[in-house]
Structure 1
Amino acid sequence: MIDVLLITNKGDITTDFVIKQLTTSKAKFYRLNTEDILTKVSLSFNFHKNEFILSDNERQIKIDLLKIKSVYYRRPKLPNIDHNDLTNGEKKFILNEISNYLEGLYKILKNAFWISSVFSIREAESKIHQLQVAKELGLNIPPSLITNEKDFAIEFVNEFECIIKPIKTGFIEDQGNEKIIFTTLFTDKKELERVKHCPTYFQKFVNKTTDIRVTVIGNKVFSAQILSQEHAETKVDWRKAETIKLKYEKIELPETLINLCIKLTKRLNLNFGAIDFVRDEVGNFIFLEINPNGQWAWIEKQLNYNLSYEISKLLIDGKI
């Protein structure tokens, strides 16, 4: 009997770390790469017999979904519909049906323990919601404005030196290639004329001494300091370190901040969170955002935090 279901895609290396731990613990798990739906994998929801079955036709496995204890939700992808005899409209219809099919799977598994619920993740991805909750809890947040009103934007950038960043996704697809949208220092006020065309996220630029990534897993907190200010390229956004080897260090956070990080994830109904802070020149910890399904394997590799063990343990226990 399968106890743990991991929902992701074939290229998700992070899930491999968890699988290694689950295997060591001799847990009974199944990795569902959602691109395999229609080819290797099928889902059947039989309401007449009250049977909800995941079938792996290649491995000859049938899983009773009602007996799944825990779910690790990572990065599912829709399959590639490459049938030449289908129109683009028909392909779009099929993908929409598969998307709704997967939504049904998530609902059927609602009584399982999730890291984390897909519905909680979606709500928590809202930067507006994040900032509201973080402020209510007492976290320090920079002055922030999200708007498509030019006059408000002008007033804000006249008051503060600003960065701009996306409200939600950090990627844009251009001619089939996925490009990262980095946090950028705002310098050209003439660009404010374009604010009316797209909601824009302005935030006061913080003169930081370091970036901090906090990973919350259940009630445990793991903190990493990213020495981003040692290089000009990474002073605004440390993710620009494509050709630079950044240094990382473990860091002890104040107990009050640790508790606030746990409270934030709980308020957002998450069992995992990757939280970004910066530390300003006087030592204050400034909250930037929480990624409810962020990457963490790089921290495990850089600093030997046993994050995969902590995640696998929660999945095996089925509770915090």
Structure 2
Amino acid sequence: MTVLILGFPLDIHIHAVRWAIEQAGGRHQTVYTPDLPLVLRSSMHIAQAPQAVSVGDGRSHGVSGDWSTVWFRRSGLPMRPPGMSDADWAVASRECDYHIRNVRRLIAPDAFWVNDIAAREVVLLKMPQLIAAAQCGFAIPETLYSNDPDEIRRFWGEHCKAGVIFKLHLQTHWHGQSSGERHALFTTELRQENLQDDAPLAGCPAIYQRKVEKAYELRVICMDERCVVIRLDSQSRDSTRLDWRSDMVAPLKPALVALPRTVEERCIALMRKLGLAFGCIDLIVTPDGEHIFLEVNEMGQFLWVEQDEPRSDLLRCFATLLLNQRLGPSTRLVGDERLRYAGFLASGAWERGYAEDGESHAKYSPPGIINEP
């Protein structure tokens, strides 16, 4: 069983999963898409079926058919070769992007994908998520996705008594050019004074939702048919009431809990409907005990959960999903009790991997705003 990992350098999730695969006796190869064109060499030969696709970075090489499972961790922008002119890079970067898109489509058509490319492209869009969740029986907040100032004001007028929240399609981070400080735009509450000027409302489409009263929040980490659920007491402090991610100085601690069976069934049904083998579902639990769907992140982070809740066994679960291509509530996990995130950190594999990425791969530094789904 060989796993192909598609991602970009210095991602601790990639290095932890590679270590876990090795501990379980599996094999893996990693392709960093930002290595094209600096490091990565790739070819596609199309004549008669089957087509031949090859990738190599000087340290490892593979061709289509070598991999039984593909973990599509994340995309990455191509990195510009030193000395290439702006005009040349405008063309070359576009062609690199299309080359990688072709590679992903052809490199392992018969493999088990986490997650399927076509499904991933749909799930990256928030509106189809909400529609699918409602079809699976979830309650969802009234939602407007718009840049029409009149529609936004009308929506605010209808829901201002409960409150209206504003958020972007992707969680957005950026670094101040002068100060170097890191900033992030989290979910915020819309105020009437924010509606006075048409220009900012029209200039950037955004998601507006009726504010839902919270008792607490849940993140449901779904791996095939196994759901690991954590409770986040977001209402315990002012800084996290609207967005539990917003306190980056003292993040909320996750607590392992169980879902009501009917809600778990809805989560699994939603994963099936969206075509996902892995995803992190965010739910609000209201003071009345109702579970409200917010969104699903098709490639969400999960190591932070195991760091605070080792009983979650998420690293071992994920390695089992990749190697066995299925995971149910009673599936025997690969490896043994030593295959944990803490074991990975103690092994030195992260430090070795970090150094190797810096020495042997393109430095991944996308310009401007950094968007992290």
- TM (normalized to structure 2)? 0.79
8 Å contact 1:70–1:315 — kept in the other structure? yes
CA distance in 1, matches of 2:82, 2:250: 43
CA distance in 1, matches of 2:56, 2:14: 21
Q: Which residues in structure 2 correspond to 1:1-320 (within 5 Å)?
A: 3-48=2-47, 50-57=51-58, 59=59, 61-84=60-83, 86-108=84-106, 109-160=108-159, 161-166=163-168, 168-171=169-172, 173=174, 179-191=183-195, 193=198, 194-304=200-310, 305-319=312-326
CA distance in 1, matches of 2:148, 2:229: 37
CA distance in 1, matches of 2:146, 2:318: 37
SS at match of 1:15: helix
CA distance in 2, matches of 1:51, 1:79: 23
CA distance in 2, matches of 1:252, 1:278: 14
SS at match of 1:316: helix
- Which segment drifts farther, 21-30 or 86-95? 86-95
Question: Cα deviations across residues 199-236 of structure 1 (Å, max 9, x unaligned)?
Answer: 22111111211111111001110100011111111111
The amino acid of 2:37's aligned partner reads L
The amino acid of 1:186's aligned partner reads L
CA distance in 1, matches of 2:95, 2:77: 11
CA distance in 2, matches of 1:290, 1:186: 23
SS at match of 1:273: strand
CA distance in 2, matches of 1:247, 1:10: 27
- Residue 295 of structure 1: CA displacement? 1.1
CA distance in 1, matches of 2:242, 2:262: 27
CA distance in 1, matches of 2:193, 2:158: 13
- Relative to total residues, which structure has the larger strand share, 1 or 2? 1
- Residue 158 of structure 1: CA displacement? 1.8
Question: Cα deviations across residues 48-93 of structure 1 (Å, max 9, x unaligned)?
Answer: 5843222231x2x331222311001112323321321x22121121
8 Å contact 1:69–1:318 — kept in the other structure? no
Query: Alpha carbon RMSD of aligned pairs, Å?
Result: 2.0
Q: Which protein has greater RCO, CA pairs closer than 8 Å, 6+ apart?
A: 2
CA distance in 2, matches of 1:46, 1:228: 52
8 Å contact 1:12–1:75 — kept in the other structure? no
Q: Identity of aligned pairs, percent?
A: 24
- TM (normalized to structure 1)? 0.92
8 Å contact 2:320–2:326 — kept in the other structure? no
Say if 1:16 and 1:62 are closer, same or farther in 2 by CA, change over 3 A: closer
CA distance in 1, matches of 2:251, 2:104: 39
- Residue 283 of structure 1: CA displacement? 1.2
SS at match of 2:29: strand
CA distance in 1, matches of 2:279, 2:102: 25
Question: Cα deviations across residues 119-154 of structure 1 (Å, max 9, x unaligned)?
Answer: 311211111111111111110111212222233222
SS at match of 1:207: coil
The amino acid of 2:103's aligned partner reads L
